[in-house]
Chain A
């Protein structure tokens, strides 16, 4: 059992990073980015293609992250500029529409085939519970936890962080105070796209590498972000890791494994039911 729990860490790290990207984007620009994993997949598969074409690993990786960032920034620019005053629902619907576009684009570029994605760091870091924990999983784990702590501290303690908070809560008022909401929004979109590329890279090493299935890892990521109620970065990471580990443990049981893919959905159900207790009449609606 423990063996499976440990082997679920890679997926957990990936869900956490994607969840962080979702939460950050939501906090900064009031948008649930349904296409976050698709953007990460574009970056990752671009990296894999470049590497398989003979580019050195570091250069290909850099190019992959850059491509993912560029796509994320382009979508972010559309959302931030054209949909500035739109509701959360409308902005999120735009990202759903773009998910459809990215799915088509991914199939056009990479076909339905799987692309071999090279692991960042070869070999295992250490063996725990008879499972080799790969260096990339370990690195991803450190990065995810580090990011959650670091960004939380950054937002709470620094001047730029305060500005970010202002932008997320009162976009127009911050504009009047001379803070460019557009610029901060775009920073967050770019940054979270970079997270997404790393996240998909981690999971692509351990599971199927089809464009559509990688893009739909947004579902467990959404569950992770909801675990932090789209606010808390720390709880998002916890939620992502829990989900990854639980899913791996479920897959190990013959009776439960057919339902392991329904786990994110069940998690969503439980979290939503829990989160809405007491919330009856939202002021805004």
Chain B
């Protein structure tokens, strides 16, 4: 699996403002400030690293974390133990071990909260934070190990430069991780577990890796903290610190490095400002709490205000329409080569929920290049069939994809080439159209291919944010993203539900060409009879979990049993 290029288009003006502010602040701290202010400057950058760690866990993967300070404490304690051990290791190795210890702690904490709601993770992390705090309180007296700063960073000035450099490295590494499939799957898992698996990504790995990376970053902050102050006592890593860091990340913004740096500076500068005016420093925490609640209500952190997206480049609809019809014309010439290759075989599939039989020995087979319709009234078992075939529901019977029986998890089946879409769209709203397609494709998709997929789904532009698209465009984009992975079979669960009649018809016209262009088979589950007549070459009708009719769409729709199931009457009107 190759790294995908998620080009982030950074607006030039705000980068300039950020850069200028950063350079000005650093110049002041390095040239003009007293060593006390340089010390505070280091503290601000360390706080920024902690806040950035919240940004990765909460901002990328959408999981609330309330124990980042505890992870910092774990790495600080580790490096203290190592430097106390009598067998001095090289400092770089000690630091790496300490950071790894924090990452392992993150894996352990993330483990039990994988499958449940993320609010349970918040509960869990608060428990960890308080437990670690209590442990450190109890150990306080034995905790006075001195951890020396690196030889080149003993002065406050050089230590400040060191913290800035570390922050830069962390920001670059996270930026790089976000371009990798794992980092991109964090965005998906924030949105939906089911959709993440449907794109062939492991939900477990996405959540655990985000949590471990967040913990490792917090570990970096822990090492810097203990080096800065020399030795930790029971007040260095308080449980409430994690809460304040969390609030600051929400209030000011911890997802972008600029926001984290801003938040870190504010979390050090504000209490300083208050105390210098004889106001209690607690007012700054009070402000962070209220500000975070306000940011949650508005859905915007302070740093986001400075960050406006560039207008997406508009896509020429007419030329892309032409490109799509041309692609279909060339593809249909070779399509006859598909022959009658069976790509999906479902044999005797049965599913029951408790005592209710949802599917009863259903057998369906699909050949490459065709679009098969699956119709039936509500409760006929259509969505259950999709869930079972793609591995979301356990079943009796067998599913064979291009000669290989599928028994694995949804993500394993998706990777093998068995894809699905959902009745309610589960697109990843925080990505751009292009990023979303790349994420779903599991490979490098060329610009030409992206344009083709966009033409197919008639989405306005590759760099439009998915969240900004209309409901109907999102549904089609979800299908396009599934096709981008070049699967053998895609199951579309009511792809035109919620679209107007005209939109559905237009989409149908495009869908007809898709199997030849992408070399796959489609199974379409739909209520819309007109749509089924337009796109499907064969139809299976389900009623109460059984296949009651199969054949050409017109013949199946004329079948009295199908009419009875649909219209609820036995005689013809």
Which A residues lie at the B interface, using CB under 8 A? 32, 34, 78, 82-83, 86, 88-90, 92-94, 96-105, 107-108, 212, 216, 218-219, 222-223, 226, 258-259, 261-262, 264-265, 268-269, 272-273, 275-276, 279-282, 285
Q: Tell whether A268 pairs with B127 under 8 Å between CB atoms, given A100-B285, A280-B115, A281-B392.
A: yes
Tell me if B116 is interfacial: C-beta within 8 Å of chain A: yes
**Cβ of B127 and Cβ of A265 under 8 Å apart?**
yes
Report how far A83 CA is from B294 CA in the complex, Å.
Answer: 11
Report how far A268 CA is from B116 CA in the complex, Å.
Answer: 13
Q: Which of A108, A226, A262 makes the CB contact (< 8 A) with B123?
A: A226
Report how far A252 CA is from B239 CA in the complex, Å.
Answer: 25
Report how far A87 CA is from B388 CA in the complex, Å.
Answer: 28
Extra contacts besides A103-B240, A107-B282, A281-B393 (18): CB < 8 Å: A32-B122, A89-B117, A93-B296, A94-B293, A96-B64, A97-B290, A100-B286, A103-B243, A104-B289, A105-B286, A107-B280, A108-B282, A259-B135, A264-B130, A265-B124, A268-B123, A281-B194, A281-B197
Tell me if B250 is interfacial: C-beta within 8 Å of chain A: yes
Over the window 217-244 of chain B, the binary record of Cβ atoms lying under 8 Å from chain A Cβ atoms (1 yes, 0 no) is 0000000000000000000000110011
**Total A-B Cβ pairs within 8 A:** 153
Query: What is the minimal beta-carbon distance from A253 to any residue of chain B, in angstroms?
Result: 14
Residues of A within 8 A of B119 (CB): 32, 88-89, 92
Tell me if B24 is interfacial: C-beta within 8 Å of chain A: no
18 contacts between A and B (CB under 8 A): A83-B297, A86-B296, A89-B117, A93-B122, A93-B292, A93-B296, A99-B289, A100-B286, A101-B289, A102-B289, A108-B283, A226-B120, A261-B135, A265-B127, A265-B130, A265-B131, A269-B112, A281-B392
**Cβ of B250 and Cβ of A97 under 8 Å apart?**
yes
Q: Tell whether A96 pairs with B116 under 8 Å between CB atoms, given A108-B286, A261-B130, A281-B193.
A: no
Task: Give B68-114 interface residues, CB cut-off 8 Å to A.
Answer: 112-114
Tell me if B525 is interfacial: C-beta within 8 Å of chain A: no
Over the window 171-198 of chain B, the binary record of Cβ atoms lying under 8 Å from chain A Cβ atoms (1 yes, 0 no) is 0000000000000000000001110010
**Cβ of B283 and Cβ of A104 under 8 Å apart?**
yes
Q: Which of A86, A96, A275 makes the CB contact (< 8 A) with B122?
A: A96
Residue ID in chain A nearest B286 by CB atoms: A104
Residues of A within 8 A of B127 (CB): 219, 222-223, 264-265, 268-269
**Cβ of B116 and Cβ of A279 under 8 Å apart?**
yes
Residues of B within 8 A of A281 (CB): 193-194, 197, 392-393, 410
Residues of B within 8 A of A105 (CB): 282, 286
Report how far A217 CA is from B297 CA in the complex, Å.
Answer: 27
Q: Which of B131, B244, B250 makes the CB contact (< 8 A) with A262?
A: B131
Residues of B within 8 A of A212 (CB): 240
**Cβ of B123 and Cβ of A32 under 8 Å apart?**
yes
Report how far A32 CA is from B66 CA in the complex, Å.
Answer: 14
**Cβ of A285 and Cβ of B192 under 8 Å apart?**
yes
Residues of B within 8 A of A279 (CB): 115-116
Query: What is the minimal beta-carbon distance from B169 to any residue of chain A, in angstroms?
Result: 30
Residues of A within 8 A of B282 (CB): 104-105, 107-108
Q: Which of A96, A265, A269, A273 makes the CB contact (< 8 A) with B243?
A: A96
Q: Which of A34, A265, A285 makes the CB contact (< 8 A) with B194?
A: A285
Residues of B within 8 A of A268 (CB): 112, 123-124, 127
Which B residues lie at the A interface, using CB under 8 A? 62, 64, 66, 112-120, 122-124, 126-128, 130-131, 134-135, 138-139, 192-194, 197, 239-240, 243-244, 246-247, 250-251, 280, 282-286, 288-293, 296-297, 392-393, 410
Of B64, B123, B197, most buried by chain A (CB within 10 Å of CB) is B123
Residues of B within 8 A of A86 (CB): 296
Report how far A269 CA is from B288 CA in the complex, Å.
Answer: 30
* Those 10 A-B pairs whose CB atoms lie nearest each other, nearest first: A101-B289, A261-B134, A100-B289, A97-B292, A104-B286, A265-B127, A104-B285, A262-B131, A265-B131, A272-B112
**Cβ of B292 and Cβ of A216 under 8 Å apart?**
no
Report how far A283 CA is from B356 CA in the complex, Å.
Answer: 18
**Cβ of A92 and Cβ of B122 under 8 Å apart?**
yes
Residues of B within 8 A of A98 (CB): 289, 293
Residues of B within 8 A of A264 (CB): 127, 130-131
Report how far A32 CA is from B118 CA in the complex, Å.
Answer: 12
Residues of B within 8 A of A82 (CB): 297
**Cβ of A34 and Cβ of B240 under 8 Å apart?**
no
Residues of A within 8 A of B117 (CB): 88-89, 282
Residues of A within 8 A of B251 (CB): 97
Query: What is the minimal beta-carbon distance from A56 to any residue of chain B, in angstroms?
Result: 31
Report how far A279 CA is from B288 CA in the complex, Å.
Answer: 36
Report how far A199 CA is from B334 CA in the complex, Å.
Answer: 75
Query: What is the minimal beta-carbon distance from B156 to any residue of chain A, in angstroms?
Result: 29
Residue ID in chain A nearest B124 by CB atoms: A268
Query: What is the minimal beta-carbon distance from B471 to any residue of chain A, in angstroms?
Result: 17
**Cβ of A103 and Cβ of B122 under 8 Å apart?**
no
Residues of A within 8 A of B134 (CB): 261-262
Query: What is the minimal beta-carbon distance from A44 to any residue of chain B, in angstroms?
Result: 19
Report how far A100 CA is from B239 CA in the complex, Å.
Answer: 11
**Cβ of A269 and Cβ of B240 under 8 Å apart?**
no
Q: Tell whether A90 pairs with B296 under 8 Å between CB atoms, given A96-B246, A97-B290, A268-B123.
A: yes
Report how far A28 CA is from B551 CA in the complex, Å.
Answer: 51
**Cβ of B131 and Cβ of A92 under 8 Å apart?**
no
Residues of B within 8 A of A94 (CB): 293, 296-297
Residues of B within 8 A of A34 (CB): 122, 126
**Cβ of B297 and Cβ of A103 under 8 Å apart?**
no
**Cβ of B247 and Cβ of A97 under 8 Å apart?**
yes
Query: What is the minimal beta-carbon distance from A122 to any residue of chain B, in angstroms?
Result: 31
Residues of B within 8 A of A261 (CB): 130-131, 134-135, 138
Report how far A83 CA is from B247 CA in the complex, Å.
Answer: 17
Q: Which of B116, B131, B243, B291 makes the CB contact (< 8 A) with A99?
A: B243
Residues of B within 8 A of A223 (CB): 127
**Cβ of B126 and Cβ of A222 under 8 Å apart?**
yes
Residues of A within 8 A of B139 (CB): 258
Residue ID in chain B nearest A215 by CB atoms: B240
Residues of B within 8 A of A282 (CB): 115, 117, 193
